[in-house]
Every structure is written in C-alpha cells, then in structure tokens.
Structure 1
C-alpha cells in the first residue's frame, strides 16, 4: 500500500512539474519584478506561491463543486488562461523595462500584489492545466490521494519560491544580455502557449456544444 502511494506521489510530482515548470518561470518573475527591491521581490515570490497553493488546495478539494456553482466549464477556464498567458508573453517581448520611478513604496501600499496574483500565481503556477491536473489526481475515492496531491504541490511551490529568490544569482551568472535574450524567448513561448491553450479551450467548447 505504501509503495502505491509513493508511486502516486511521484506521478503527481512529475505531472505538476511538467506543467508548472518553475525553472522556466524564473525569467518571467525577474522581468515582472525588475523594478522592485530585493525585499519586495521576496514578498512577491512568497505571496505568489501562497496564492497558487491556496488555489490548488481549493480546487483539489472542491473543484467540481466550484465549477458547477458558477456554471463555469473547463474550456472557458482554458480560454481565459490562454488569453492571460498571451498578454504576459506579448508584454515580455515588446514592452520596455519598467522605469525606476515605478519602484514600490511600502508606505503607499503594495501594488505589486497584482503581479503576485496575476500572472505569477495564476495562470503560470496555478493555471487551467494545473487546476485540471489537480482535480483529476484528487478525484479518487481514497482521501489520501487528495492529501498527497496537496502535499506534492506544496513541495513544488517551495521549489519555485527558492528558484525565484535565486533569480538574482542567475542574472549575475549569465549576465544581463543573456537574461534579456532568455526573457524575450520565454515571452514568445508564453505567447504561443497562451494561443495553444486558447485553441484547446475553443476546440473543447465546440466538442461539448456538439454533444
């Protein structure tokens, strides 16, 4: 029995890791928080993983009920997530870096929380694909499977948090020019993933409508 749980946990981790890909999210985090101080970056990194974790916990436990309550379909969720990813990728490719005067002043609140929620927490870390995967893995009648899904995703959030914090070291190691190229490439990939997610949602919606 223990072996089956270990195997399930391994499968869940690999599934989550392939979808979330926290390593690939580091350039996105660095680009979105470029104008912030190190302390503010830590706050955004922590808030983003906490929000993402809460989202996955909620959908793992009561995902189907939430979707039925608000009459939301998975295709609609995919389409919305695809649009958000495309917008983020578009900005990373074409827009200039934020200016220094945009630096957050803690005395004036924390406008950076919007970055932590969207796009870092959702849809990058807890997007439609991750939510669907969590709901599928947690759908078993064995409640321990739901617990394993939540714990495994918590571990992944911690890994993502550590990677976000090490972003500065990665920049110093690779150099600003290399990171700029990587950021532009990640922006293109995110834009393409957004379009792909949107098309998948449209196709699923058409298929459901024809049934």
Structure 2
C-alpha cells in the first residue's frame, strides 16, 4: 500500500471540522467554570475510545440493523451537511445537552467531542477511505483536542469572540463541501 498523505489530510480535516473543538471552546470554557475544571486526559481518552470502537465495530453494528456502509454514508452525509449549515448560518439545528454537572464524560467526551456527528462521520469515511487513514486522523485529532482543552484560557484570550466565530464559519463551509462529496460518491452506487 502506498501511503496517501492527501487522504490522511482529508480525513483529518473532516474529523477536525466535525469534532469542532475550536467552535466548542466557548462551551468548554463555560463548563470548565461551572465544573471547577476539566480533566483533559480523561475526556480525550474516553472520546478517543468511543471513536476507535465505532471505527472497528460500527460496521458490525450496522449489519445487525440490516444497513450497509454506503447507506449509512448517505445518511451521515446529510447529518454532516446540517452540521456545516449550522456552523455557517449560526442557527442551532442539533440541540445540545445543557446538563453541565455530569462531568468530564458527559457532556464533554460524549456528545461534545465524540458525538453522533463524529461517530456518523467515522462510518461515512469508511466508505471512501482505508481504516489506517481514519485511525491516524482520529489520533491526530485527539492530540489537538487534548491540547485545546489544556490551553482553554490562552486560546480564549488570543482569538477573541470574532476570531472564534470566523474559524467556526470557515470549517462549516469545508463540512458542506465534504458532505456533498460523500453524498455524491455513495448515492451514485445505489443505481448500480
């Protein structure tokens, strides 16, 4: 197998945009204040475990439900599209869990980092990319997630509200384009 850096970059950026750790910084900052701190390593490890579990067992789970990866990819691309639309337009489509007393596992590890959008994306990516690229993309994103959670105060100060908003909208547009690509490449297979 020839290592394809372009595929690794695509997978990594797709997961980065879906996880939206930068867009989650305002939520993380408020949760950190309410909870008296966030255990960065624990949140990263639990969310990573969920992602890797879904990468390797998600397809088997779909088979039990009588679904194939391409069908899930089309459904997932619609969810990714809506998430991108939400980021670009600034309107909440998916309602978050407002209970901040649950701690590091809920709502930070799940659903904030490894939410339904992330897990759906991992399965959707399997229709177009090899597991190695997805696993490496997950690991790279987990490092970013850990670093972001560890340096929340510095990031908040450095970017400011307008900087965070601009980054969120930029990644929203990238998600829209990725969703269209996943949808078109998998939807075409239904006619064959």
Bin of the TM-score, shorter chain as denominator length: 0.5 to 0.7
For the aligned residue pairs, the C-alpha RMSD in angstroms reads: 4.4
Distance 2:100 2:16 in 1: 31
Pick closer, same or farther for the CA change 1:91–1:45 going to 2, 3 Å. farther
Using the size of structure 1 for normalisation, the TM-score is 0.58
What count of residue pairs does the alignment treat as equivalent?
184
> Unpaired runs of 5+ in structure 1?
97-101, 139-148
Report the secondary structure of 1:27's partner residue: coil
* Aligned match for 1:176, one of 158, 161, 166: 161
Cα distance, 1:167 vs. partner? 3.9
Matched with 1:95 is 91
Q: Does 1:21 align with 2:3?
A: no
Distance 1:41 1:80 in 2: 36
Cα distance, 1:28 vs. partner? 2.1
Cα distance, 1:73 vs. partner? 1.7
Matched with 1:146 is none
Q: Does 1:113 align with 2:106?
A: yes
Using the size of structure 2 for normalisation, the TM-score is 0.63
Q: Who wins on radius of gyration, i.e. which is larger? A: 1
User: Is 2:25–2:152's contact at 8 Å kept on the other side of the alignment?
Assistant: yes
Pick closer, same or farther for the CA change 1:83–1:33 going to 2, 3 Å. farther
Cα distance, 1:79 vs. partner? 2.5
The structure whose residues are more often helix, as a share, is 1
Cα distance, 1:181 vs. partner? 2.2
Any idea what the Cα deviations from partners look like across 1:74-99, whole Å, max 9, x if unmatched? 22222332232333333333238xxx
> Unpaired runs of 5+ in structure 2?
none
Distance 1:191 1:40 in 2: 36
Pick closer, same or farther for the CA change 1:12–1:32 going to 2, 3 Å. same
